[in-house]
Amino acid sequence: MKFEQEELDRRAAEADRARVALRRATLELIAIRGRLIEQHKSRKDEDRSKRPDRSSDRSESST
């Protein structure tokens, strides 16, 4: 199948636009993942601070 140069240029430009869109989406997903990880860590830390410290209870009761 033989393509005209104009058709090749059009397809190359279309492929470039698709590649840029995929790269942008990938970077957005990476950023979202980072934010979710940070949210998870902060929630985990909040949960720890809300719970009573059981290790101090154990050390006091063993004396």
What are the 10-residue block averages of pLDDT along the chain, 63 residues in total? 89 99 99 98 87 62 55
In Å, the largest CA–CA distance within the chain is 89
Strand stretches in 5-62, DSSP E: none
pLDDT at 44: 87
Q: Which amino acid is residue 8, in one-letter code?
A: L
pLDDT at 56: 59
pLDDT at 43: 92
pLDDT at 58: 58
pLDDT at 20: 99
Confirm whether 53 is domain-assigned: no
Confirm whether 42 is domain-assigned: yes
In the chain, the number of structural domains is: 1
Confirm whether 38 is domain-assigned: yes
pLDDT at 53: 64
Find the domain containing 34 and state its range.
Answer: 5-48
Confirm whether 12 is domain-assigned: yes
